[in-house]
Amino acid sequence: MKLKDKVCIVTGAASGIGKAIAQTYAREGGKVVIADLNKAAAQAAADAIRASGGTAMAVAMDVTSEEQVDAAVAEVVAAWGTVDVLVSNAGIQIVHPVEEFPFADWKKMLAIHLDGAFLTTKAVVPLMQKSGNGGSIIYMGSVHSKEASVLKSAYVTAKHGLMGLCKTVAKEGGKHKIRANVICPGFVRTPLVEKQIPEQSKALGISEEDVVKKVMLKDTVDGEFTTVQDVAEVALLFAGFETNALTGQSLVVSHGWFMQ
Ligand code: NAD
């Protein structure tokens, strides 16, 4: 039980990677908060965890809204007293060539990925300082925190930006034992990726099969997708690691697509 009684907020946890992280944290004894735009799906994910013996609550949260983030964190504090782990995971994907990228879509991407990470961090850091126990803040980056791909200017910019936020939070958090790290997954077959396959096929003028083989998995060592559980295990490592020895870091989990 690596997270026994730790209060863990996971944003975007009603689906995909966040959902698997929430389940894994609950399995390890964490008190898990499923925070998502989609309240009904968040509630269903929390109910499923409770049904299998875990502890979970759902909160409605649009990570781009300071008001909603603060209200949801206040709800968590009212229920469970503090926050020990934050996984800033909520995210979307929008692809266009840069010269055609609608400015509104660009702003939406940066708001969800960067404003969301900032606002949730800002809300939990005072709680981690006050508890005296510190905490672990985990940002869901991507191989695109370190590498670029065509059509993804906003995503690549946002995911690189998270690296800067992480390093700063790690430096500021040191004296309070607040650790910050980034997980950088390769392609994981979640709804976010399923949506991109036909979009990229259209934009690049190639078949959907070729998008998977020749674009998404081209540089992996084995042509395999990374799984939600692969990413959840890394999220468990960062959340359960108790000292400042592991802070300000980023770990790529991508079947060798990107090697440092
Ligand atoms: P997903 O679409 O399965 O889940 C994303 C969740 O985020 C959804 O439940 C959605 O409701 C929620 N969400 C979206 N906007 C929100 C907002 N404004 N406020 C709160 N919640 C919001 O996607 P996923 O693939 O699990 O992606 C999760 C994270 O992992 C994202 O940050 C994504 O960029 C990152 N990532 C995904 C992959 C991949 O291949 N799937 C690879 C690297 C990184």
- Condensed to tens digits (0 to 9), the pLDDT of residues 180-226 reads 999 999 999 999 999 999 998 998 999 999 999 999 999 999 999 99
Q: Ligand 1 centre and the CA of 132: distance in Å?
A: 31
Given a cut of 90, is residue 260 above it in pLDDT?
no
Residues 31-66 pLDDT 10s: 999 999 999 999 999 999 999 999 999 999 999 999
- Which long-range contacts does 59-63 make (Cβ < 8 Å, 24+ apart)? 59/33, 59/34, 59/35, 60/35, 60/36, 61/11, 61/35, 61/36, 61/37, 62/37, 63/11, 63/12, 63/35, 63/37, 63/88, 63/90, 63/112, 63/115, 63/116, 63/117, 63/119, 63/120
The residue length of the chain stands at 260
pLDDT of residue 61: 98
User: Residue 56 maps to which CATH number?
Assistant: 3.40.50.720
For residues 227 and 19, is the Cβ–Cβ distance under 8 A? no
Q: Does any domain span residue 30?
A: yes
Q: Ligand 1 pocket by C-beta < 6 Å: which residues?
A: 11-12, 14-18, 36-38, 61-64, 89-92, 112, 140, 142, 185, 187-188, 190-193
pLDDT for 58 equals 98
In a domain, 202, yes or no: no
What total of structural domains would you count in the chain? 1
Question: Which residues have a catalytic role annotated?
Answer: 155
Report the candidate in 64, 54, 58 with the shortest Cα–Cα distance to residue 9. 58
pLDDT at 176 over 90: yes
Q: Closest Cα to atom 19, ligand 1: which residue?
A: 62
In the reported structure, the alpha carbon of residue 247 is separated from the centroid of ligand 1 by a whole-number distance in angstroms of: 23
How many angstroms is it from 139 CA to the middle of ligand 1? 12
142 occurs within a structural domain: yes
CA of 10 to the centre of ligand 1 (A): 11
Q: What DSSP character marks residue 227?
A: P
Read off the pLDDT of residues 145-166 as tens digits, 9 standing for 90 and up: 999 999 999 999 999 999 999 9
Vertex 11: Cα angle to 153 and 232 (nearest 5): 90
Q: What is the pLDDT of residues 92-132, one digit of tens each?
A: 999 999 999 999 999 999 999 999 999 999 999 999 999 99
**Considering the domain boundaries, does residue 111 fall inside one?**
yes
User: For residue 176, is it within any domain?
Assistant: yes
| pLDDT score, position 81 | 98
Q: Residue 23 sits in which domain range?
A: 7-187+226-253
105: tokens are 């879509």
Residue range 123-140, pLDDT digits in tens: 999 999 999 999 999 999
Q: Helix or strand or coil: residue 216?
A: helix
From 10, 11, 17, the mutation candidate for ligand 1 (largest count of ligand atoms within 8 A of CB) is 17
Q: Is the pTM of this model over 0.95?
A: yes
Residue 258 forms part of a structural domain: no
Atom of ligand 1 at shortest range from CA of 141: 44
Kindly state whether residue 146 falls inside one of the protein's structural domains: yes
Whether 57 is covered by a domain: the verdict is yes
